[in-house]
Structure 1
């Protein structure tokens, strides 16, 4: 960038793994006069924080919108109700599902500690890590940058000011007591550039199945999203229909199959099912159904499947949606999320094509987690520092158009696997070498064994499932 357009101030939104990646990379460039980080929670960690009380299913049926903006700044306003989507989907015994040696940042190893349940299932020194270990790992690294963070602060609006060329950000900080009452404090700040690092595991996604909203009104206790999962005890002797064919669905089946009231029904879209999980759906006590075509209030409630079969609502205690999450950036103006749940207009899922001073870190799927965020963040920091190697705008647009044609216009657009090498090397090329005299470092070249190590956890889960199935088959013959 020309000197007159040099970026001196940067705002980072979020303090999860992607936010940490961004803050660290920006700080190491040693060219930004001000780096400010805004976090709506009271601590760092993002999706790796644990909330004993989960989000509610009602959040899945509403589209996140901006709160009304006050007429003047700064000002105290009546405290708004909590946005429950900020609560995470962690449960007490959760382990990582990406191999730790590849999931971790290249500059720091996650402590080599396993949970008791993972050792029983996958053996000693297995590649999973308990969530508490991962959360502590993130806290340790972030401790160096806490002076840059403003907590309990929600970003309500991010808009480019045509007159100043800066990004005007509207901020709301909670937990203030003003004249004896709890209030929210609103103010604005302006920055040369913005990094959005809010992740994509906040707003649960529910397929738009006809009749589901009427069902929720009639029987709200019967509908759950995987984000609400906290304990196996909640499902003992319950009749459950699991919707979804990915890892969270398979984990529920493996963990709860023997304690729920059998059969445990799994509703799959076969064309999108993960072949690595096929053995889970074949376990004893599990029956497979196609997608749910509609919910009705007839006969006290029915659940109809696309093959014409159905079950009565009175015979089902819980319909458990393991159906992923919606992209949500309601504070960005204009909002870049399409009706098909895709972040539009961002080269390599990271750089705004229309404005090189706006970037997103963390908006990718099946991408080896923290390590991919690190590569994105380093590339962003060096572009903002004026040293990155972004291609021309026409080339960036052509990349997006080709990808939409190949992968479609949905969230699948953001899936990196199996093209890891291509993606990581593209980010390395954009980042280029580190500047002399800084703390920045050379991003390691992609190694093919990273993918194998990253997905080793899925292989171990499959081996465990096959072992369990064989044991049960043997016992059934006795």
Structure 2
């Protein structure tokens, strides 16, 4: 990326009040609220979205997700499945920019959520600032340059097929709001790749799941214990599927009460084996009614046979390929230096202050990195914080202090934990950040951030109690 420019300094650290032009990468909920809050704060904002709509993972397309080479078709969309619902109650999962429609239930379907995001974008003129069908190829700050260079490719259809328009932009700051549901994480289980090669239609990632119809009356092995695993289990079981759920026990597992009756919960699969008498090793389409000719051997030695389909519901890899050498996929997370963002674990985004600001150069910010949160509410709050800091109304601590805080956070981190998890501590984080920001804002004579209202805090208190009782200790 070249050397990072030195920001003007105050005794409290980098001052970012000279920012005018801001790029936002992504137009899901994080990108929409980031764009809206930055516009309200008076910045010139350009957002870049790979697809033709806002909404991100809440935009539903019935066709199963694919990964075609760009730009043969419109760039891949991180679609949701038809039955997707929010798993955080609407009073706790909402933007400060718009209330849910009067009478909204706590849990609503994908169409309602997608409409809500689009309404925010419409009411706050976000769409006018989005470059649709545009992929960000690279984000860099060349040595000696005080601005970020953002290179993009915009896909468009023409009479003769399609066109790809490349462009280079300059920005004072960049907000990465691209989410973390793009690149599926597939565990390296021995034999799984061979099963996928031989029986490609029977082995899928949850990202490809759209409707339960293909799973009706079949034996389905689901690997994973998160929300998507539970949703798929419930939808397919309703059509007569027999569910076997394989997972590694974790405090983030969704517990049995949320699963349909009759689900068999088993340890993690140790390896997949293909029967000796199976046909040759070429890809094949099994006949309807035929199970996969093989077995799954579990970590405790149990053997599962008669499997019709396997769904990998093990989550996603965090990746920002446009950030170049700040992503080091072969580097162990323990060896991360004070500049790298992504390492081989594919989860931690390193060197962020408060999960938002890139410590070496805080004019690069991230919205939506935090996990196990109220999503819309927290990301909206983080976007407001970024706007205040970019405007120079709130001052970041000295870089040495931010580095030390990050180092101490890593020292407390346990490998089996989730580094960005705010599981049941989100309110504490919000209060801490709010005290910091508003302490500076008040001194500057600017309007303070309101934070989350009483309705949110009351709802979150109830949610914490449910979270603690519905997941493994």
TM-score range with shorter-chain normalisation?
A: 0.7 to 0.9
Instruction: Tell me which moved more, 435-444 or 140-149.
Output: 435-444
1:78-93 map, 5 Å: 80-82=71-73, 85-91=76-82, 93=83
**How far apart are 1:421 and its partner, in Å?**
2.2
**1:269 corresponds to 2:264:** no
Contact 1:49 1:90 in 2 (8 A): no
Cα distance change on mapping 1:14 and 1:457 into 2, 3 Å: farther
- 1:429-477 CA-partner distances (Å, limit 9, x unpaired): 34324899999853346864232354688799x7xxxxxxxxxxxxxxx
Instruction: Find the residue that maps to 2:342 and give its secondary structure.
Output: coil
**CA distance in structure 2 between the aligned counterparts of 1:17 and 1:227, rounded to whole angstroms:** 18
**1:337 corresponds to 2:350:** no
**1:310 corresponds to 2:318:** no
Contact 1:55 1:84 in 2 (8 A): no
**How far apart are 1:182 and its partner, in Å?**
1.5
Instruction: Find the residue that maps to 1:270 and give its secondary structure.
Output: coil
Corresponding residue of 1:121: none
**How far apart are 1:187 and its partner, in Å?**
1.1
Query: Which of residues 356, 361, 369 in structure 1 aligns to 2:362?
Result: 356
Cα distance change on mapping 1:39 and 1:440 into 2, 3 Å: farther
Contact 1:176 1:183 in 2 (8 A): yes
Corresponding residue of 2:257: 279
**1:188 corresponds to 2:168:** yes
Corresponding residue of 2:62: 52
**How far apart are 1:261 and its partner, in Å?**
4.3
**CA distance in structure 2 between the aligned counterparts of 1:451 and 1:177, rounded to whole angstroms:** 50
Query: Which of residues 316, 323, 331 in structure 2 aligns to 1:325?
Result: 316
1:142-221 map, 5 Å: 142-143=121-122, 144-177=125-158, 180-221=160-201
**How far apart are 1:258 and its partner, in Å?**
4.5
Query: Which of residues 16, 22, 28 in structure 2 aligns to 1:10?
Result: 22
Cα distance change on mapping 1:261 and 1:379 into 2, 3 Å: closer
**CA distance in structure 2 between the aligned counterparts of 1:456 and 1:111, rounded to whole angstroms:** 26
**CA distance in structure 2 between the aligned counterparts of 1:188 and 1:54, rounded to whole angstroms:** 33
**CA distance in structure 1 between the aligned counterparts of 2:111 and 2:377, rounded to whole angstroms:** 19
- Higher helix fraction (1 or 2): 1
**CA distance in structure 2 between the aligned counterparts of 1:273 and 1:382, rounded to whole angstroms:** 33
Contact 2:26 2:48 in 1 (8 A): yes
Instruction: Find the residue that maps to 1:414 and give its secondary structure.
Output: coil
- 1:83-112 CA-partner distances (Å, limit 9, x unpaired): 765231231x32211110110013421124
Cα distance change on mapping 1:261 and 1:136 into 2, 3 Å: closer
**CA distance in structure 1 between the aligned counterparts of 2:409 and 2:436, rounded to whole angstroms:** 19
Cα distance change on mapping 1:280 and 1:442 into 2, 3 Å: closer
1:367-386 map, 5 Å: 367-386=373-392
Corresponding residue of 1:257: 237
Instruction: Find the residue that maps to 1:142 and give its secondary structure.
Output: helix
Aligned-residue CA RMSD in angstroms? 2.9
Corresponding residue of 2:3: none
Corresponding residue of 2:267: 290
Cα distance change on mapping 1:239 and 1:160 into 2, 3 Å: same
**CA distance in structure 1 between the aligned counterparts of 2:449 and 2:433, rounded to whole angstroms:** 14
Corresponding residue of 1:244: 224
**CA distance in structure 2 between the aligned counterparts of 1:130 and 1:48, rounded to whole angstroms:** 10
Cα distance change on mapping 1:159 and 1:223 into 2, 3 Å: same
**CA distance in structure 2 between the aligned counterparts of 1:4 and 1:340, rounded to whole angstroms:** 31
Cα distance change on mapping 1:456 and 1:148 into 2, 3 Å: farther
**CA distance in structure 1 between the aligned counterparts of 2:192 and 2:74, rounded to whole angstroms:** 22
**CA distance in structure 2 between the aligned counterparts of 1:383 and 1:95, rounded to whole angstroms:** 34
Query: Which of residues 397, 404, 407 in structure 1 aligns to 2:403?
Result: 397
Contact 1:14 1:197 in 2 (8 A): yes
Query: Which of residues 426, 440, 458 in structure 2 aligns to 1:449?
Result: 458
Q: In the comparison of the two structures, how many residue pairs are matched?
A: 422
TM-score normalised to the size of structure 1?
0.81
Instruction: Tell me which moved more, 382-391 or 451-460.
Output: 451-460
Contact 2:17 2:390 in 1 (8 A): no
- 1:389-423 CA-partner distances (Å, limit 9, x unpaired): 32222222222222223233578101111211221
**1:110 corresponds to 2:100:** yes
Cα distance change on mapping 1:268 and 1:350 into 2, 3 Å: same
Cα distance change on mapping 1:453 and 1:203 into 2, 3 Å: farther
